[in-house]
Structures are given as structure tokens and as C-alpha cells.
Amino acid sequence: MIPGPSRWLRIARQQMARLPSFRMARTPDAPALPVRDLWPGDPVRGAALLKGEMETGGVTARLKFGAFIDPGESELLRVVAHGFTWLRDLRALGTDAARVRARALVTDWIAGASSDPVAGRPDVAGARIAAWLGHYDFFAASADDGFRQKLMARLVSDARSLAAALPTEELDARAFTAIKGLIAASVALPDHATFLARAIRVLPQEIARQILPDGSHCERSPARLLSALQDLTEIRVLLQAAQVPPPASLASSIERMTAALRALRHGDGGLTLFNGTKEEIPALLELVLTQGGRAGRLPATLTEGGFQRLQAGRSVLIADCGMPPPSKLDRFAHAGTLSFELSIGRERLIVNCGAAPAAGLEWRDATRATAAHSTLVIADMNSSELCDHGLGRRPDKVESHRLEANGAHWLDASHDGWLRPFGAVHRRRLYMSETGEDIRGEDLIEAASPQPYTIRFHLHPAVNASLQQDGEAVLLLLPSGGGWRLRADGARMSLDESVYLGGPEPRRAEQVVLTGFADGAQQVKWAITKVG
């Protein structure tokens, strides 16, 4: 495939950026201004790094001298390793051993580990520049002159290549990480004024293209929204440190994104598990939201993002009622259209299985499958086709309509993801009473001929489930002792094994499965009601 003119220009700029220049400013001995990392590290992970173990997304890889990280590891693990964001974990540990380990790994990387193509990607280089500068005082300020000279020379070299690579080919949240790195370099290396000029020119374009009017991110992933909000918040702090007026769109975007992120949290403070998302640490989320700005009115509907939040009493139900993200923005997209999650107070009841983005392909596809979500599945076929780097076949139309009256909520949604293979449309109707203690649903298949189907309700691992009434109901007990009953009409009910990957490590769980009758109506009515 022959690159287009814009890519030819980018390649030429990058090649020229690597050439030595007699006009280039002298490499500084240290950053001119301090750059601060805003986010807390994990001392437990820091202790693991002392043993050479780097954990991300529930998967552990080894960071070792010489090879640094095995090139056979998953792309995401290599991205994290070469991005050096884990320096904050060593800093959180705070010991002399942690400082020495950080310095040794940076030395090893500069000596040759950067040969991995992933290491030179704009987003990875941007993360690395920001991490090295954000923790410079921890691992480099007290180092010998030779180490600091090599570090600063590599920082300048990476920043020049990064400036030449903007705007990036990646159309997703990775572009913000690249821009952040270049702005961090411009703050620490003020002699290189072109870095800041290029970053400021590209930033408004990326904000306009990626941040939707309701504050959602174009990838439709709560995790990617969190990542983009962190990057933009850091960019705002960096521009303030450099006393550079930010683009007009930056503050308003951060405000909208903060509101959207709040809408995608459960009562326990963690994120809902759609499109490659894990719960995340509530304390980190609270810090990001605090940095983002004051709390405003919580949106019930993210129109462009395609998420609906039904909340009454102590119950919160969040449903995915949006179109899957388009091509090149769907690398983390799941086939979970019309799935929902339900929490009661600070306890999760109905969940999706979560995500394993750093695991092998088999696990990644298993968590992305429709069957890993609390929704309906026809003939064990995914509602969107799963591909290595996104989605293939997907719904052409996803619609939702919502009504509210006297504190009660009604939601009517549908999608046509199975129209081409089966001529079928899935329609889901949801109701939540004004107390939040009566939740009802109806799943229908609109098709010319009957289709085999199942409806799954994945349960959080802390929920204790037992079949009752000759298999016509399931009693769901929360850790606090609260009881809920799930009943269904029009399908056979059973309990099956499940797995939960929403937390820091995999956990066994259960799921309630409703199996439609082959000769019955293509309609199931169900209810989840509080007991007592």
C-alpha cells in the first residue's frame, strides 16, 4: 500500500528530526522547569517492580536487564513498559532501592531496549517523556552527570521525533498522550519553542474530533474517557506552568468530560464495564474528577456517547444504547450492545464480565463477546463481529427512547446487529420504579422466523445466587444481606458459571441464563425486585 501525501510528509519530517543539526540548541543539563506527575502510584506494584514484575490489566510481565521486556509479550504490555508510567509506582514505594531500580531500568532502556518499534510510537514516546520529566526529581536529580546527560539527550531526541510525528496517525485517545508528552518537553526544554507551537496547533483539532458534545469520548469506552481526561488535565497544568494561554476548547471539554465520567460510575465509585473498561480505583477516579472541576448536575443520558443512566432510590442501572464506535476507533470495542449493569448502593448486582486488554487473543475475544455481557444473544453469534483490531459486521441502527414520570423511568431500545445473518432485530424495554426496588425488563426478537436465543445476567462475584420455586426464580443475596429476586416468564431459567475481570484480578462468578423455547414466543419478560 502506497502512503498518501500526508503520511509521506510525516515520514520525511521524522527522518529529518533524527538527523544531527548544527543549529540545534545545546542539550541542557537538567529540565528548566519542573514537571509534576499528578496521579498516585501503587507501592505494592512498586515492590513487585523491584523483583522485575510489571503488572497491567491483570497481567504480569517481566522487566529484565538487556532485553528489557520480551518482544513476544502483548502489545499493550509493551506499550506500558516502554511508556514508563510505572515509575510512579516505584516513586510511591519511595525507597532508595526503588530509586536505584528506576535509574537502572532507564539506563538499560536507553542502552538499546528502544529498538522495539512500539517504543517509537508517538503515544508511547509521549507517555515516556512525561513520565521521565514527571519523576526526574525522584530518580535522576541525584544521579551522576553521565546518566543525566544521556537522559536529557534522549529526551531531546524523542521530543524532536514526536514533534515531527504530529498530528499522529492514530485517531483515538493515544493522540492526546502524544501531545501531552510534547508539551511536557516544551516546558522542560524552553529553548525548543517549536515543540510547543506544534502541540498547540494540533490540540484543538484533536479535542474537536475526539470529545463529543455530551463529554463522551469517541471510542465509547469509560476507560478511554478516563485516560483522555487525565491527559487533558495534565496538559492544562503544563500550560499553566509555562504561562501559555490554553486553547479555548480545553476548559469546556474537561468540564463536559468530568460530567460524563461521573455518569458512568456505580455507587461504589468505580466505572461501569463497557468497551474494554475495568472498575479502576475509586480514589483515582475521585482525584481525576476533583482535578476536572466542581461537580455539577449528573446527566441521565449521554446522547452522543449512547449511554443511559437510570437511577432511583439506591439503585443505579447503566445501559449501552449506542452505536459501536466507527472503524479506527474500535480497538477496544465489545459486542455488548443493549447490555446493562445494575448496582444497589455501593454493591454491584448485575455486571458485564469486564476486560482483559493485556491478555492473549483468546481471553480478549472472550471478554469482548456478546455472551460476556448482560444482554441477549442469538444462536451464540456476536451482535458485532470481533476482529483483531476492532469490529467487522456491526449494527447499522441502534435506537433508544426514554421517558420519566414521578421518579420512575422507562427505556425502549433496539439494535439490528443480527439483521444480515438472521433477519432479526433485538428490542429491550426496561422499567425502574420510583423507589428503585422494582426493575422490570422485556426482551423481544423481531424476526420472520423463530431464532434460538439466550439472555444472560452476569452476577458480581460477591453475589450469592440460588434457584427457587422449581427453577422459576433466583434469589440474589448481596454481601450486606439485602435480597433481590429475579423472575422470568417465557424462558427456562438456570445458573451457570461466569468469570469477572472488572477488578484487579480474575474472580469466579455466576450468571443467570434464560433460554428461549424453540417453539415459543420470541419474547421474555423478567423482573428484579427487592425482597422484604
How many domains, the chain? Answer: 1
Is 206 part of any domain?
Answer: no
Is 314 part of any domain?
Answer: yes
Q: Tell me which residue of 63, 66, 37, 36 sits closest to 52, measured CA to CA.
A: 63
Q: Tell me which residue of 35, 84, 16 sits closest to 186, measured CA to CA.
A: 35
Q: What share of the chain is helix, strand, coil (3-state, %, to 5)?
A: 35, 25, 40
**DSSP state at residue 379:** T
CB 131 within 8 A of CB 123: no
| Whole-structure pTM value | 0.93
Compute the distance between CA of residue 160 and CA of residue 138 in angstroms, rounded to an integer: 25
What residue numbers bound the domain in which 411 lies? 301-531
Per-residue pLDDT of the chain (532 residues; tens, 9 = 90+): 445 555 544 444 444 444 444 344 577 888 988 899 999 999 999 999 999 999 888 788 888 766 678 888 888 899 999 999 999 999 999 999 999 999 999 999 998 866 788 999 999 999 999 999 999 999 999 999 999 999 999 999 999 999 999 988 777 899 999 999 999 999 998 888 889 999 999 999 999 999 999 999 999 999 999 999 999 999 999 999 989 999 999 999 999 999 999 999 999 999 999 999 999 889 999 999 999 877 778 899 999 999 999 999 999 999 999 999 999 999 999 999 999 999 999 999 999 999 988 888 888 899 999 999 999 999 999 999 999 889 999 999 999 999 999 999 999 999 999 999 999 999 999 999 999 999 999 999 999 999 999 999 999 999 999 999 778 899 999 999 999 999 999 999 999 999 999 998 899 999 999 999 777 779 999 999 999 8
Alpha-helical (H) ranges within 189-317 are 193-210, 222-241, 248-263, 282-292
Is 324 part of any domain?
Answer: yes
Is 26 part of any domain?
Answer: no
Is 91 part of any domain?
Answer: no
Is 492 part of any domain?
Answer: yes
Instruction: Give me the residues paired with residue 510 across strands.
Output: 497
- All residues at 6 or more sequence positions from 82 whose CB lies less than 8 Å from its CB, including other chains: 69, 109, 113, 114, 116, 118, 119, 124, 128
Is 212 part of any domain?
Answer: no
Is 37 part of any domain?
Answer: no
Q: Does the N-terminal peptide bond of residue 167 adopt cis geometry, omega within 30 degrees of 0?
A: yes
Instruction: Give me the residues paired with residue 426 across strands.
Output: 415, 445
CATH code assigned at 317? 2.70.98.70
